[in-house]
Structure 1
């Protein structure tokens, strides 16, 4: 069944042969999920109402974790060519004083620089190439989902051919087609058709601000002095940052009572850009649009054989740059769960923990994004002055700690130093094996991995080995081959006081051990969790 070539140009029929997964939506989250499931050998159908890639930048930031996910798809080096490595993101007041700085100039634990600014269409182009290289994934663009019905062992989706230059409109008499999949995933954006059909409400976190977004392609170098950050000016809060290596973005808050319609005229953009010395002879305005930034979580991410991911499941304002990142984390977290269920290696109940684990992580990022937005989004000069004075006197809370996973599919019975890394990202350093030197995932591979510290002995019983073999987990003992060429892993294991970590395909640590002999207990905990039992000590 797996590996069968699907002809995306095949004429409509009553019902296609069943797929393992049907995806509705082909933005970066849908592309990532399609590629991950396709890599794992599953038959995937992607249904997208737009007849071609959207081609417009929405998100503008990715971090090291997302780059490692892209690395697992074989596209990281290619997308990095059009990315701008971010080193700082600042919040400044109207006088140019720095209120808050996010330092991004370190290397991330995932083996990539901490943060990048990117031009989304460039990323989507590369993801599209990766998806279409997989013969078991078929992409059907220009087909809009109009209905789906859940059955005991599959979901049936009806689509109608879209017409128009960009999409979404169907004429009377348009062709229809039906797809069947063992599971359906809605990755169809903030106005998700799938979420609406499920009748799932979305919570309102209480943040709603309207901003005007302008994307530019400079014709000449632009020397602005301040390149990446928020300008917390109550006369008009705004922000500016790179969009990859070739584009820039400005975002301007609409003032209370301001008519959004006046920003349809591109000259409204040039008027706002003029103080920065940006004129039509210095840059092309490639896009301008009014957006309302909101925050919320879908109340239910799974109903039977239908699941939600990305903006269909959660939305957040852009002030932490984590909206698309969170969706791609959803895709990675859902892909390995679906893989195990589809291969019969875990019960369907494994999917029940997807929302609890991801929603908690996303909810924290939403809260941080909202708080960051409130620093910037004030139009009251007195409130802004009090804010500035509080920052000058240091009477503000410390920068927030980026969240990690709590509970969920983790060894929650871990104790001591092992418990401190459970739910956190596993490291990726450079290693050398068989004469090849590079990042661990490229040289050794990725997926379920039991990693022993340099010099630690691998001590596992036959039943423990059987647990790992069943899910094709790698057991890697660092030493002469693979060798820890930069001492990165030696430093990690020394700092954490651990001898081994067991991490998931999404690179989060499931369990850990303070000595090599205890690594087997983490493996047994994994076996118990996969069997649908409680994680046991």
Structure 2
């Protein structure tokens, strides 16, 4: 049986393994560590990404361990509200909350548990990859070198990717780098905070505050030039939020928020996914989501290639062609959002406050600012809907219609749900296995 080797058992690598297993493709999942990273990192995914979690079978459990984000508030240096973008409670266009706050270790436990249910996935921890080709992977474990065949290799091994280095790709700098102190804490008392993200637009010390779950909170503080994590006294920084209440610090770490994209995402049958392929500033909360979108985009294509006589090389070629413009657009949006929320010196900050105070009242602007819909994929099929997400997905190619089915080699599905019928507007649509519209058919 063809076996895909996946390097890196974080959320992206495990998701890729699950998606492949559900399509009958075996994988060997390699990681340096035996257990998932125990401290919080990613904290947000949107409703489109929850669709991916539904596809791997963990969406219900995820919604029980996450909480809906209620929007965004922009605060000045004295924590006065300059603009408030509030989300209405309830689901978005995909049936899930448009912002979902969570603790990454909780998500990783759900994904590992789902992985354990699938016998086509073999996990090997304590493995250090030292060689990669389109047909094999070499790794070191316990002092011994092991060579394994590979029908394909997925490099899901993070920002410092060994796989990226081994295939000769490099990171292209998109000219954004800021150092931030990230602090995660647990409070014995509820802080009774508003349930969205608070962004402090202070040109001296930009900051972010959010509630991740019951009595679990995150603070982020931008570091000044020449300043280190050890230079900061947390007590005065946290005081406006805690108001005298105690907190137990779970993690305190300095990060450099970067904007990078790999020069190439593929060499032969070796592919890069997640942080190995791209890194984005966190200001729109799309870092993990971008990696999970990579896995969802590639898994069905790779499965089709491995199960189709003669392969499906054109599908594999489309992975990088579709994902790179999408990721680049989201990174650029994150950079712009970061400047708007945190950038500028005193004069620029004053101007920004006046502008924000006026434009947030423009009708319809709040909805635009809170919209979770991601950019359409380019180069997909034909028609104005091509490259957008359909409101439903079937894990296979389907032709969705409203009662007058055309001749087709794909499975025909008649739309019965009222919302889906409204979306179709009488059209007949071809939908890919990942829920992306491929084409609108003429009758």
TM-score, reference length from structure 1: 0.76
Q: Deviations over 1:273-310 (max 9, x none)?
A: 1222266x633211110000000110100101111000
Match of 1:367 in 2: 332
Match of 1:157 in 2: 137
Match of 1:383 in 2: 348
The SS at the match of 2:123 is strand
Alpha carbons 2:71, 2:196 under 8 Å: kept: no
- Residues 100 and 220 of structure 1, relative CA distance in 2, 3 Å threshold: closer
2:86 and 2:191 map into 1 onto residues whose CA distance is 23
The one of 380, 388, 405 aligned to 2:376:
405
Deviates more, 1:339-348 or 1:92-101: 92-101
1:33 is aligned to 2:2: no
The SS at the match of 1:371 is helix
The one of 446, 454, 459 aligned to 2:406:
459
Match of 2:192 in 1: 223
The SS at the match of 2:151 is strand
Match of 1:501 in 2: 429
Q: Deviations over 1:37-79 (max 9, x none)?
A: 0111111000000121112221111111111111111110011
- Residues 195 and 278 of structure 1, relative CA distance in 2, 3 Å threshold: farther
2:155 and 2:55 map into 1 onto residues whose CA distance is 22
Instruction: State how 1:186-201 maps to structure 2 within 5 Å.
Output: 186-201=155-170
1:475 is aligned to 2:440: no
Alpha carbons 1:270, 1:278 under 8 Å: kept: no
Q: Provide the aligned length of Structure 1 versus Structure 2.
A: 435
1:396 and 1:74 map into 2 onto residues whose CA distance is 40
Q: Deviations over 1:145-197 (max 9, x none)?
A: 122234xxx1x2121226xxxxxxxxxxx233222211001001111111111
Match of 1:232 in 2: 201
1:203 is aligned to 2:172: yes
Alpha carbons 1:214, 1:269 under 8 Å: kept: no
1:355 is aligned to 2:335: no
2:213 and 2:412 map into 1 onto residues whose CA distance is 37
Give, in angstroms, the shift of residue 396 of structure 1.
12
- Residues 147 and 446 of structure 1, relative CA distance in 2, 3 Å threshold: closer
Give, in angstroms, the shift of residue 143 of structure 1.
0.9
Match of 1:492 in 2: 423
2:289 and 2:308 map into 1 onto residues whose CA distance is 29
1:67 is aligned to 2:53: no
Alpha carbons 1:364, 1:403 under 8 Å: kept: no
Instruction: State how 1:251-270 maps to structure 2 within 5 Å.
Output: 251-262=220-231, 268-270=233-235
Q: Deviations over 1:2-40 (max 9, x none)?
A: xxxxxxxxxxxxxxxxx5210000111111101000111
2:127 and 2:243 map into 1 onto residues whose CA distance is 40
1:451 and 1:246 map into 2 onto residues whose CA distance is 45
Match of 1:437 in 2: none
2:235 and 2:10 map into 1 onto residues whose CA distance is 29
The one of 427, 441, 452 aligned to 2:391:
427
1:502 and 1:203 map into 2 onto residues whose CA distance is 35
Q: Which structure has the bigger radius of gyration?
A: 1
2:304 and 2:194 map into 1 onto residues whose CA distance is 51
Structure 1 residue runs without a partner (length 5+): 2-18, 163-173, 413-418, 429-440, 469-473, 519-537
Match of 1:124 in 2: 108
Match of 1:243 in 2: 212
The SS at the match of 2:138 is strand
Match of 1:316 in 2: 280
Deviates more, 1:237-246 or 1:128-137: 237-246
Q: Deviations over 1:388-439 (max 9, x none)?
A: 122234399965674433433x223xxxxxx2221111013xxxxxxxxxxx
The SS at the match of 1:272 is helix
What RMSD over aligned residues (CA atoms) do the two structures have, in Å?
2.3
1:137 is aligned to 2:128: no
Deviates more, 1:360-369 or 1:389-398: 389-398
1:55 is aligned to 2:33: no
Instruction: State how 1:34-113 maps to structure 2 within 5 Å.
Output: 34-95=17-78, 96-99=80-83, 101=85, 103=87, 105=89, 107-113=91-97
Give, in angstroms, the shift of residue 245 of structure 1.
4.0
Deviates more, 1:95-104 or 1:293-302: 95-104
1:512 is aligned to 2:443: no
1:384 and 1:226 map into 2 onto residues whose CA distance is 26
1:325 is aligned to 2:289: yes
